[in-house]
Structure 1
Amino acid sequence: MASSQATMEKFLRDWRQDAMNKAQYDSAIFIGDKLLAMTRDDNDALFLAQVHFAAGNYTRAHSLLAKHNLITRNPACRYLAAHCLIKQGLFPEALSLLGEHSPSHLFSGTNDDLNGPKRKTSRTTGNSVASKQPENSHSRTKSRLGTRGASQEEEETSHKKYEAAMCHLRGLCFAKQNAFDRAKEAYKDALRIDVQCYEAFSQLVKNNLMSPDEEDEFMQSLDFPGLAAQLKEGEPGAGEEAGDYVHMLYQTQLSKYRHPNAFNTAIESLTTHYGLEGNADIMLARADQLYTQCRFKDALAVTERVLEGDKYNFGVYPIHLACLYELKKTNVLFLIAHELADNYPEEPCAWLAVGIYYFATNKIAEARRYFSKASMMDANFGPAWIGFAHTFAAEGEHDQAVTAYSTAARLFTGTHLPQVFLGMQNHAMNNMTAAEEFLKTGYGLCRDDPLLLNEMGIVCYHQDRAREAAAFFREALKVAEETESESTAWLGARVNLGHAYRRLKMWEEALGEFDAVLREGGKDAGVFAAKGLIYLDLGRAGEAVEVLHEALGIWPQDPVATELLGKALEMSMEAGLGLGGEQGLVAPGEEGGVVVEDQGAGEGGEDLDRFEEVMEQRKRAARERVTRRVRGGGSIDKGKGVAGRGGGTMRRGMTRGQGPWVPGEIDMSDEE
């Protein structure tokens, strides 16, 4: 009789497994229920609960575990029960079941705490685990659950993996309670226990919970070499290779602002030695790096390859849409937004696409509505939050923009971009002290973003700290060069460096920067006008006339170039007639005007007095226009990178966020 029952049990288990393999959950539940009634085995009860979970029957799965008193007896059952509660949105109940503290005695690796003393954690036995468990953990019993055919060592490994998975669930509960610091620590604890808990790593990276410096520290603390202990067979050194492999996979997911060489090495090794050149995640990581370097065409080519292989890979759409925005492909944006909204309305990225399309076509109110919808569907969807904030900035609604960016900064504590945008908005409102504080906070999070360095330089420039400004602009260009960024994307920083040199009376250096901009970026009226002002400073009126004519040929209504040209012609005439003696130096003044040193009395002096009087009147009128444009959300660029300016970057950063910003350029009409 016993032999017959054993045969029947095997038959039912094979049937149940076959049904599970075919995703026939009703069949698996039907057979699993009969098998459990026959065996009353804890393993069969857990299996049946797992089938209910896979079928979406979260309440039944939790009830079954509680009925058989399995939740307090084993980590696997406690994990499944907590997961059921989370799926039902019962986060306080799930946290009560999991406990609020991680089992730190299970941490492996070099550090128990990133700031704590280094130590190695030895493998613990079943008895020692039970004796050391904290209040929130439950002792394991000698049930048959998970022990069939398993050694004690394998059982201990399984126990640690479930404890790590529960740390991940604990982090999800903290995040739902807006306790983001505690959520971050819980995710870190999961990886300290089990470095293979990718779910926790994904939450840390996807939600930008760690700064680049913190990522570096944390990666060094993880026990990648410990993976060798899990490899029972294989060639010598296979364990070390496994650790290196996982480390490289994680390296590709980290911030692209740091260690480009390490990233490139990891990508090359994974593609060359392990055949991952066509893997979507590896290609997406490469596209992320290209986007960070402002190489939008190259990044778009990579994302298009990913979508050709799998157009349902929603993780690639934020970068793909951002590249389309940068390249002004509004027709393609329209088609993608239409398709996603029609076929996948439950996906936040569908409404992100709609919002970006409307933003690209300057329909700001509609864009705000759909960015808001995407953020409500997924509160942790960074691109939607940043896009929502940008809509206020685009309309000059600085107070609302500051509030929206502040929310993004609170949700995504590890990324510097919200702090950069907060600095830009305060700069737009002429709150230079606040702008500098926000930019310094961003600098503390990331020191390798040329956009941030450029904005810090602009703030210093407008605070009459030209030497510091020049240092920031040089650093921005240096970082852009080191990361192989698109040179044309940072012409704004080079223009700003030229203006800083001009303020420092480093005339030749300033002319060198402006000439480099004209070589790389084509003709620009503002750059020609700046060169004309320098030539006037140097008393080279003839050359000033030539370049100012170039400026007015590009933009005939340029008020600064017009006034400077008038003065340059006057100086040329005086020099030709021998009037006024030695030509005075012309220095930059308010609104790009000029202040002329004493050139003698007489008729020439009276002409100068009349010229300066007219200049003062026009400067006052220009200042009034500036004030009206700033208050009205116009496109005057004081280095804020105002939305709608040509070539603005929908910077990722929050996906790792989208932002319509170019490196801000200093405008001579804004100088005080």
Structure 2
Amino acid sequence: MEKFLADWRQDALNKHQYDSAIFIGDKLLALTRNDKDAFWLAQVHFSTGNYTRAQSFLCKQDLIARNPSCRYLAGHCLIKQSRFEEALGVLGVKNPTHLITSSSNSRRKLQHTSGHNRAGSKQHGKGASRIDRYDRRDEVAQEDATNIRFEAAMCFLRGLCYAKQNAFDRAKECYKDAVRIDVQCFEAFEQLMKNCLMSPDEEWQFLESLDFDAISISDDPSSSQEAAEFTKMLYTTRLSKYKNPSVFTAATETLSTHYNLATNPDLLLAKADLLFTQCRFKDALEITNSILHNDKYNFSIYPLHLSCLYELGLKNALFLVSHDLADNHPEEPCSWLAVGIYYLCINKVADARRYFSKASMMDPHFGPAWIGFAHTFAAEGEHDQAISAYSTAARLFMGTHLPQLFLGMQNHMLNNMTLADEFLKTAYGLCKTDPLLLNEMGVVFYHQERVEDAITMFTKALEIADEIDSDSQAWISTRANLGHAYRRLQQWDMALAEFDEVLRQGGKDTSVFCAKGLVLMEQRLPYDAVLVFHEALAISPQDAIATELLNKALEETASGGVAGEEEIEVDEDFERGLAIKKDEAAHFASRRAGKGKGRLRMSSGFGPNENILMDLADEE
């Protein structure tokens, strides 16, 4: 009768006939009085969304105190009811850290006893009692392993409670302990990655500290090593793409070729994320489009997909996506993120802010919404409000360098170079391999008269961009900045080489030609400078700076270049014109709030030609 009822119960559950499953499960529990059947019935109540009934059932059966799996389920019921303090009371506030070292031993013991079980079955004449003894050991080991997994799951639930209470340091430790106790507790690992609770360096160190060898396959222990390697490669694809791209590429290649995961959405998303950090937005968009073509409402894809559409200025595509999501899934924060990004793309900043705010209220830990909300203030030049919003993002997502980077950029806009330097140094401590961050540090050093340090940063940014195979077009402004720094140090040939490279790569901007012309005038080549200033005026005929510099170059040419050792003087009107031009460029940069990388990054930094006038007004 017990087997009949158990099969009937399972069949009802498979068909999602929960009333039948509850009805039959209740009768089976009356027959067996078994904790497992009681836990199973509580799980059905949980699956129907009846969390209060599931919790009440567990309490009445007195299962919480004597069974880890029931304590886990009771805590989960309380979390679903947003009763976080009570959940911590049930789960306990202390993580079972003693299991971190013993968990792997218990699993190896399980593997060891399983091997003995098979060996014992082959020995003739030893008697059935020995086989039974091994079977009992096997059952005990299996039960220990199950209990350990539930202990890890309870660590994960503690982390959720602390995160809801904004105690992110404690949440981070709970998540890490959960994965250390049970390396297969992916929920906890995903919370660490998704919420950016660790820096890129910390993420890779944490991955290396995990005991993947603890993974065992009871039916086939010889395959355990392969399972461990497979799991480690899967976890590797979830890590930050700012560090060790070669390791990431090797993992994805193996998963794609050996395990037929080439078209798996999670693996494709990881590849697209790497392309996005390399500023290869078209390539990343091609991948996200292919994923959404097969799985239109995979919401994990949309933050990156929307970022690509924004970076490429595809307003019509953003309009269609945002309308579709808002109509079909208004309960998803990602839907309103899409609407906010669309409005930001068409420069309706107030509307964008409203929808970013709505998305962040629906999910207070939704990173892209917070970053987008802060960007709306930056786009309007409201630097104080932007700093406040970025500070909130920095508190929520303490493992990512992006909020600190944006805080540094906003203080730079306010000419608070000391504060900008501090924030950028903090960001650098979290991530040393983001070319945009290095560029911003170089700009701040430049304005602090630390020109040699600025050159080091600009050069390093370009080297890293080249190493990660980033789109060179994205770093034209960095190369122009490097040219300005060389010019400031009167290294004319180096400066001219950089400006020529900027022009060769397509950075045909009036300010670039002006900077190149200034260098040529310093080299006493006024005729060549005249040609360059004419090119600048061909782009912008009304440009005051190019016009003034052309006049001076013509005077030099007319005088036969006899200026000798005299400095190129800039009168007060010219100086005022340069200052105005610089302010206009800074204002334009603040409105853009930059270009950007990463799923939290949606926009981040100066566009291709927005920093180029950063020091022309300082000419003497």
Distance 1:391 1:419 in 2: 17
Q: Structure 1 residue 85 and structure 2 residue 78: aligned? A: yes
Q: Structure 1 residue 226 and structure 2 residue 225: aligned? A: no
Distance 1:507 1:299 in 2: 39
Partner of 1:606 in structure 2? none
Q: Structure 1 residue 373 and structure 2 residue 368: aligned? A: no
Report deviation, 1:69.
0.2
Distance 1:226 1:432 in 2: 50
Distance 2:492 2:616 in 1: 19
Distance 2:162 2:333 in 1: 22
Report deviation, 1:101.
1.3
Distance 1:124 1:326, change over 3 A: closer
The SS at the match of 1:345 is: coil
Distance 1:524 1:658 in 2: 22
Partner of 2:618 in structure 1? 671
Contact preservation (8 Å) 1:425, 1:435: yes
Report deviation, 1:582.
5.0
Distance 1:556 1:344, change over 3 A: same
The SS at the match of 2:399 is: coil
2:61 is matched with which residue: 58, 65, 68? 68
| Identical-pair percentage | 59
Partner of 1:394 in structure 2? 379
TM-superposition CA deviations, 1:321-355 (whole Å, max 9, x none): 11111111100100110010011000001000000
Instruction: Please list, as runs of the form range in 1=range in 2, the aligned pairs for 1:23-422 lying within 5 A after superposition.
Output: 23-108=16-101, 151-227=139-215, 230-234=216-220, 236=222, 238-422=223-407
Contact preservation (8 Å) 2:277, 2:597: yes
- Aligned-residue CA RMSD in angstroms? 2.2
Distance 1:467 1:390 in 2: 31
2:445 is matched with which residue: 452, 460, 463? 460
Distance 1:243 1:416, change over 3 A: same
The SS at the match of 1:12 is: helix
1:505 is matched with which residue: 482, 490, 513? 490
Partner of 2:126 in structure 1? none
Q: Structure 1 residue 583 and structure 2 residue 553: aligned? A: no
Distance 1:545 1:437, change over 3 A: same
Distance 1:19 1:46 in 2: 17
Distance 2:507 2:388 in 1: 38
The SS at the match of 1:151 is: helix
Distance 1:505 1:626, change over 3 A: closer
Flag structure 2 segments of 5+ consecutive residues without an equivalent: 111-134
Distance 2:45 2:604 in 1: 43
In structure 1, give the amino acid aligned to 2:575.
K
Distance 1:499 1:202 in 2: 44
Distance 2:52 2:278 in 1: 48
Report deviation, 1:121.
6.1
1:649 is matched with which residue: 595, 603, 617? 595
Distance 1:561 1:513 in 2: 19
The SS at the match of 1:107 is: helix
Report deviation, 1:124.
11
Q: Structure 1 residue 538 and structure 2 residue 523: aligned? A: yes
Distance 1:79 1:161 in 2: 10
In structure 1, give the amino acid aligned to 2:414.
M
Report deviation, 1:381.
0.5
Contact preservation (8 Å) 1:107, 1:121: no
Partner of 1:616 in structure 2? 572
In structure 2, give the amino acid aligned to 1:616.
E
Contact preservation (8 Å) 2:272, 2:285: yes
Partner of 2:553 in structure 1? 568
Contact preservation (8 Å) 1:252, 1:263: yes
2:541 is matched with which residue: 539, 548, 556? 556
The SS at the match of 2:55 is: helix
1:448 is matched with which residue: 427, 433, 445? 433
Contact preservation (8 Å) 2:544, 2:577: no
Partner of 2:469 in structure 1? 484
Contact preservation (8 Å) 2:381, 2:587: no
Report deviation, 1:671.
3.0
Distance 1:574 1:425, change over 3 A: same
Contact preservation (8 Å) 1:191, 1:222: yes
Partner of 2:124 in structure 1? none
In structure 2, give the amino acid aligned to 1:671.
D
Report deviation, 1:520.
1.0
Distance 1:661 1:89, change over 3 A: farther
Distance 2:527 2:617 in 1: 26
Which protein has the bigger helix share?
2
Partner of 2:421 in structure 1? 436
Contact preservation (8 Å) 1:453, 1:472: yes
1:18 is matched with which residue: 11, 14, 17? 11
Report deviation, 1:617.
2.8
Report deviation, 1:64.
0.5
In structure 1, give the amino acid aligned to 2:618.
E
Flag structure 1 segments of 5+ consecutive residues without an equivalent: 1-7, 113-119, 127-146, 587-593, 596-611
The SS at the match of 2:240 is: coil
Contact preservation (8 Å) 2:108, 2:214: no
Distance 1:404 1:642 in 2: 15
Contact preservation (8 Å) 1:488, 1:520: yes
Distance 1:661 1:278 in 2: 35
Partner of 2:127 in structure 1? none
Distance 1:125 1:625, change over 3 A: closer
Contact preservation (8 Å) 1:575, 1:583: no
Report deviation, 1:125.
9.5
The SS at the match of 1:643 is: helix
Contact preservation (8 Å) 1:456, 1:469: yes
Q: Structure 1 residue 636 and structure 2 residue 587: aligned? A: yes
TM-superposition CA deviations, 1:640-669 (whole Å, max 9, x none): x43338xx5243242x75446536524144
Report deviation, 1:123.
6.7
Contact preservation (8 Å) 2:596, 2:604: yes
Distance 1:149 1:557 in 2: 88
**What is the TM-score of this pair, normalised by structure 1?**
0.85
Distance 1:291 1:86 in 2: 35
Distance 2:209 2:90 in 1: 29
In structure 1, give the amino acid aligned to 2:535.
E
Report deviation, 1:11.
1.6
Distance 2:11 2:343 in 1: 49
The SS at the match of 1:368 is: helix
Report deviation, 1:506.
1.1
Contact preservation (8 Å) 1:106, 1:121: no
Distance 1:292 1:304 in 2: 18
